[in-house]
Structure 1
Amino acid sequence: MMEYTRSVRKTSQYCLVVGLGAILFGLDQGCISGLFAVPKFIQDFGTFEPSLATHIITANGQTLLFGTLLAGTIIACVVSGPIGSRLGRKAGLYYCIITSIIGPIIQIVSPNVGVACLGRIFSGAGIGFAANFCIMYWAEVTPATYRGMIVMMYQGLINLAQFVGACINEGTHNIPNKWAWRAPLMSMLSAPLVMLAFLPFIPDTPRWFVHRNRIDEAHLAMRKIRGKTWSEDDVTEEIRQVVAMDCIERELEGSSSYWDCFKGSDHRRTRIAILTLVVQQFTGISFISGYGTYFFSVSGISNPFTITVITSVCGLAGSISAFPLVKYFGRRPLLIVGGIASALSMLIFAIVGVALPNSVVAARCLAAFVCTYLFTYGATWGPIPQAIIGEIPSNRLRSRTVSLATSVNWMCTLFIICGSPYLLSPLYINLGTKLGFIFGGCTILGTIWVFFELPETKDRTLEEIDEMFLNRVPARKFSEYVSTGQVGQLNAGKMALDKEEVDEVQRVDHT
C-alpha cells in the first residue's frame, strides 16, 4: 500500500502565486513613500514655496496622492464581499490584476497630480482586492497546522516588497530626469503581470465550491490543491467536514447578507476581525510606512533614503522570525508581547525627541527605535492579524466579514494618512516625534483589548473554530477547548440517512 506523507508543497506553490498580490501593496508603500523626498518628483509635482525658496509637495498634495489610493482601496473592499460570495475568490484575484496594471500605467504617463490621482485610485483598488482575496484564499486552502504560517506570509511579502521599493528609490532618486520617479512606478507592474501568467492554472477554493453547493468541483479542487502526497480518503474526509459545517451554519444562522455579520455568533466574529485590524493601524504602521522617509528628513536625519532601507530590512527580519514564533507560541501571546514592545518603541523615541530636540542623539534614537518598532511589528502585529481575519469568520460569511474588516481597516488608514501630513508638516501643527505619544497610547489600549477578547486559534481547523464560536466558548478558554466531534457526528448521521434512502429506493425497485 502506498504511504502518504501529506506534504503542503503543492498548496504552498498555489499560495505563493496568489501572494503576489501582497507584493502590490509593499512596492507601492516602498516606492511612493520615498518619492516625496525625490528632488525630480518634487519639482514635477510640487509647488514653489517662496518662504522656503524651493519646491515642496504640500500637505494637500500628499493627502491627495495617498487619499485617492485609499479611496480606491475602500471601494474595492466594499465590493469584494459580493464578488467573493457570488463569483469566487479567483474572480476577485483577476479584478486585482486588472486594476493593478491600469493604475501604475496612468501614474507613469501622468503630467500632473490630478491624473496621477486617477491612477492612484486604480492602484488602491488592486491593493484592496489583494488584501481581501489573498488572505481569504490562503485561509481556506491551507491545513490547520500550517495556516498561521502561510497566511502570515502576506505581511512577509509586503515587507520584502517594501525593502525592494526602498532599494529602487535609493538607486534612482538622484537621476536628473523623470525616470527618477518613473522607474519605481514601473516596478509596480511586475507582480500583476507574473500573477496574470500563473493564475489560470490555480483552482478556486474548495470551501467556496461547497458554499455554492458544487461538491464535485470542491473535491476536484481539494485534490489538486493537496497534491499527490494526500490520500483520496484524506481529501474526501476533509471535504466531508467542510460540507458538514456548511450545513450546520446554514441551519443555525440562515442567510448570508452583510447584516448577518452582526447576528448571532457572527456578531462576535465580525467584532474581533474589525477591531484586530483597527488596533493594527493605530500602532502607527501606516504613518511609518507612508511617510517614513519624509519623517526622517524633517526630523534632522541627513540620509533618509539609507535609513529607510535599513528600517525595511528590520521589518523584513521581523517577518521572517514570525514564522517559527507563531508556530510555537500562537497568535494571542505574540500580539500581547508585540503590543507592549511597539508601544515602548513609540513612547521612547517621542520622549527623547521632546527632551533633546533637533539633536544628533534624538535623530539616532528615532532611527534605532523605528527599527525596533518595525522588527516587532513585522514579527507580531504585521502578519498575525491577517491570519486572524482569515480564520475567525464563518465559511458562510467569510467573504463579507473580511470585506467589512478590511474596509474599516482602510478607513482607519485613510484617517491616519490624511491627518499625518498636517500633524507633521512645519507649516501646520509640526508635532514631529511627539506623534509617538499618540500611537504608543493607542497601542497600549489595543493590547488590553487583545488580552480580554481575542481567542487563540493555533492549530485549529476552521471547522473547530466554527464549533467554538457556535458554542460561545470564552476567548481565554479557546486553547483549552476539546472538540466535541460535532462535525464527525453530523457526518455519521448524514451518511446513515443517505444509506437509508438508498435502501428505500432499492426496496421500491424490487416491488
Structure 2
Amino acid sequence: MSVTTTARAEWRAIAICLFITIAAFQFGFDSSYYSGILVMEPFLRSFGHYDPSTGDYALNPSIESITTSSINIGEFLGAVSSFMIDDKIGRRGGLFVSNACVLIGVIFQVSAPQMALLIVGRLFLGYAVGLISCLVPLYVADCSPARFRGALVSLYQFNVGLGLLLGILVDEATKDRTDSGAYRIPMAVQLVFPIILTPGLLFFAPESPRWLLGKGKVEKARVALRKLYGDRPDFIEAEIREIMQLIEEERISAGSWGDLLTWNIDGRKAYLGMALQAWQQASGVNFITSYGVVFFTAIGTTNSFLVQMGLYLTPMPAVWFSQYCVERFGRRPMLILSSCAVAVVLLIVGGAGSTTDKTRALDQTIVAMVYIFMVVFNLALGPAVWVVTSEISTGPNRSKLMASSTGTSWFCSWLVTFTFPYLFNPNADNLNAKVGFIYGSLMVAAVVWIFFFLPETSGRTLEEIHEIFQRGVPARKFKGYQPSESTEPTSLDEKNMAHITELNSAQEA
C-alpha cells in the first residue's frame, strides 16, 4: 500500500500521536528560556551580586551552574521514576502528573523572592520534563502505525526544537524591560503547554492499548484501539491477539531491574540505550541550549538573543529531513554521518578558540560553526536517538529500559550543564571556545561505538525487534536478519491481512 493510502486509513492514530508530541514543547522551552534570562539585568540584580570592578551585576560560576543544572536533577529523577508512574497509572496518566508538576514549578519560580525557591521550582519543572521525555516516546511508539513510527517519534525532537525557538522569542520580547517581568513573564509562559495538552488528554487521546492489555483491561483496550484506528473489528481483534501473545510471553519471563544489570537480552538493551543517550549528550549540545546567549555574549556577539533565535530556527529543515532519512537510509548510517559531522564542526570551534590573535573573522567562524553544529546534530543525532531508544525498549522491562536510558540522558545533560561554567568562564578554567576540543574528541569515539555496537532497527515492528534480541543477533547482522522461520500463520499475519483488506477497502472508497 502507498504511504498516502496508509495515512488515510490510519489518520486518527497519526493525529493523536502528533498531538501528544506537543508535550515536547515544554522540554524545549525550558531548555532555552533560562539561557536568556541569565544575562537580563533585572534577573542579575535579583539573584546575582554587584561587581565593583565592572560596575555591573553578575552571577558567579557556582550560582550559574547550580541554578541552571538544577533542572537536570529534576529531569533525572523524573526519568528514573517514570517506570513506577507508568506502571501504576499509565503513559497518559503520567502526562497528567507532568502537567501538574509544570503548574507547581511555574508558581514557585514566578513567586520566588530568593534563590532557594527558584531552584525548587526548577526541580519541579525538571521532574515534569523527565516524565515527558520517557512517556511521550513510549506512547507514540505504542500507538503509531509501524510505517510512520520513526517519523512520529522524530517529530518529538522537532517539537523540542520549536520549544527552544519559542523560549528565546519570549526572552527577546521581554529582555528590555527594567522590572522583574523581564524574567517572570518567560517563566509564566510555560503554563500554556499543560493548558493545551490537558483537554486533549481528557477528551480524545486514549491510554496506550499495550498498557491497558498488560493490566488485563481488554475492553478498554478495544475502546482505545477504536479511537486510534476507527471501527475496524478485524484489524482491532488481530492487534489485540498479537499484543496479548507478546504480553503472555513477557509474563513467563517476568522482568526486573536485575535483568538490566546482567549481560543478557535486557542487559544488552539497557547498555545500548544508556550508551546512545550518553553519546548524544557528549556532543555538548546542552552548552548551546543552556548557555547559548552567555556563550555568544562572551565571544563578542552584539545581539546574542537574535543569534540564538536564528540558531534554533536554522536546523528546523534538518529535523524534517531526518524523518525521511532515518526511514529511507536507516537509523545507524544516519547516526554515523551526523556524529562525524558534529565531531568535525566541534574540532573547528576548538581550533578557532585556541588562536591567540582574536579577530572578528574568528568570532564569526565560531558562530557559523555553531550554526552548522545545530543542523548536523538535528540531522540524526538529536531525533534518531529517541527513535532508537524507544524501539529497543521492548519486552517485559519496556518502561524500565526507557527510564534507564532517559535517566542516563538527563544525568549526562546535568554533567555538561554543571561543568560548563567552570570550563568556559574567564574566572574559572577560561577555556572559552576551546571546549570544542573536549566535545569533538568525544564525538570521534561515538562514531566508533555506533559503527561496532549499534543495531539497525528500521523497518521492524516492536515485536520483531524483541525477537531478534532474544536470538542474540550481533549488531552488524540485525538489518538482514529474518526474525522467524516459521511458516505457520501467526497473529501478526492475521493482523497484516486484516490491515491490507481494510486499506484496499479505504482505497476503493
Written as runs of structure 1 = structure 2, the 5 A alignment for 1:146-185 is 146-185=148-187
Q: Which residue of 2 aligns with 1:328?
A: 328
Written as runs of structure 1 = structure 2, the 5 A alignment for 1:65-144 is 65-144=67-146
User: Cα RMSD between the aligned structures?
Assistant: 1.9
C-alpha displacement of 1:327? 2.2
C-alpha displacement of 1:493? 13
Q: What does the per-residue CA deviation read over 1:436-457, in whole Å, with 9 as the maximum and x for residues that have no partner?
A: 0000011111111111111111
Q: Is the 8 A contact 2:281 2:409 kept in 1?
A: yes
Q: What does the per-residue CA deviation read over 1:295-332, in whole Å, with 9 as the maximum and x for residues that have no partner?
A: 11111222211110111112323212212222211211
Q: Is the 8 A contact 2:141 2:391 kept in 1?
A: yes
Q: Which residue of 2 aligns with 1:505?
A: none
C-alpha displacement of 1:120? 0.5
The whole-number CA distance in structure 1 between the counterparts of 2:228 and 2:284 is 37
Q: Is 1:217 aligned with 2:217?
A: no
The whole-number CA distance in structure 2 between the counterparts of 1:234 and 1:134 is 25
The whole-number CA distance in structure 2 between the counterparts of 1:265 and 1:396 is 11
Q: What does the per-residue CA deviation read over 1:414-461, in whole Å, with 9 as the maximum and x for residues that have no partner?
A: 111111011111111110011000000111111111111111111211
Q: Which moved more, 1:144-153 or 1:65-74?
A: 65-74
The whole-number CA distance in structure 1 between the counterparts of 2:131 and 2:176 is 34
Q: Is the 8 A contact 1:96 1:125 kept in 2?
A: yes
Q: Which moved more, 1:291-300 or 1:63-72?
A: 63-72
Q: Which residue of 1 aligns with 2:258?
A: 259
With over 3 angstroms needed to count, the CA separation of the structure-2 counterparts of 1:485 and 1:461, relative to structure 1, is farther
Q: Which residue of 2 aligns with 1:401?
A: 401
Q: Is the 8 A contact 1:270 1:405 kept in 2?
A: yes
Q: Which residue of 1 aligns with 2:244?
A: 243
With over 3 angstroms needed to count, the CA separation of the structure-2 counterparts of 1:299 and 1:221, relative to structure 1, is same
Written as runs of structure 1 = structure 2, the 5 A alignment for 1:252-291 is 254-263=253-262, 264-291=264-291
Structure 1: gaps (5+ residues)? 495-511
C-alpha displacement of 1:258? 1.6
The whole-number CA distance in structure 1 between the counterparts of 2:102 and 2:486 is 43
Q: Which residue of 1 aligns with 2:55?
A: 53
Q: Is the 8 A contact 2:277 2:409 kept in 1?
A: yes
C-alpha displacement of 1:402? 0.7
* 3-state SS, counterpart of residue 39 of structure 2: coil
Q: Is the 8 A contact 2:14 2:145 kept in 1?
A: no
Q: What does the per-residue CA deviation read over 1:357-384, in whole Å, with 9 as the maximum and x for residues that have no partner?
A: 5320111011101110001111211111
Q: Percent identity?
A: 29
The whole-number CA distance in structure 1 between the counterparts of 2:221 and 2:176 is 53
The whole-number CA distance in structure 2 between the counterparts of 1:492 and 1:377 is 36
The whole-number CA distance in structure 2 between the counterparts of 1:246 and 1:396 is 8
With over 3 angstroms needed to count, the CA separation of the structure-2 counterparts of 1:493 and 1:140, relative to structure 1, is closer
C-alpha displacement of 1:388? 1.0
* 3-state SS, counterpart of residue 459 of structure 1: coil
Could you say which structure has the larger radius of gyration? 1
Q: Which residue of 1 aligns with 2:35?
A: 33
The whole-number CA distance in structure 2 between the counterparts of 1:34 and 1:493 is 53
Q: Count residues in correspondence.
A: 487
The whole-number CA distance in structure 2 between the counterparts of 1:492 and 1:329 is 25
* 3-state SS, counterpart of residue 204 of structure 1: coil
Q: Is the 8 A contact 1:61 1:113 kept in 2?
A: no
Q: Which residue of 2 aligns with 1:497?
A: none
TM-score normalized by the length of structure 1: 0.91
Q: Which moved more, 1:275-284 or 1:176-185?
A: 176-185
Q: Which residue of 2 aligns with 1:477?
A: 477
Q: Is the 8 A contact 2:332 2:455 kept in 1?
A: yes
With over 3 angstroms needed to count, the CA separation of the structure-2 counterparts of 1:465 and 1:425, relative to structure 1, is same
Counterpart amino acid of residue 114 in structure 1: A
With over 3 angstroms needed to count, the CA separation of the structure-2 counterparts of 1:484 and 1:303, relative to structure 1, is same
With over 3 angstroms needed to count, the CA separation of the structure-2 counterparts of 1:351 and 1:18, relative to structure 1, is same
Structure 2: gaps (5+ residues)? 495-509
Q: Is the 8 A contact 2:150 2:327 kept in 1?
A: yes
Q: What does the per-residue CA deviation read over 1:207-232, in whole Å, with 9 as the maximum and x for residues that have no partner?
A: 1122223333223212221235xx32
The whole-number CA distance in structure 2 between the counterparts of 1:306 and 1:32 is 15
Counterpart amino acid of residue 484 in structure 1: S
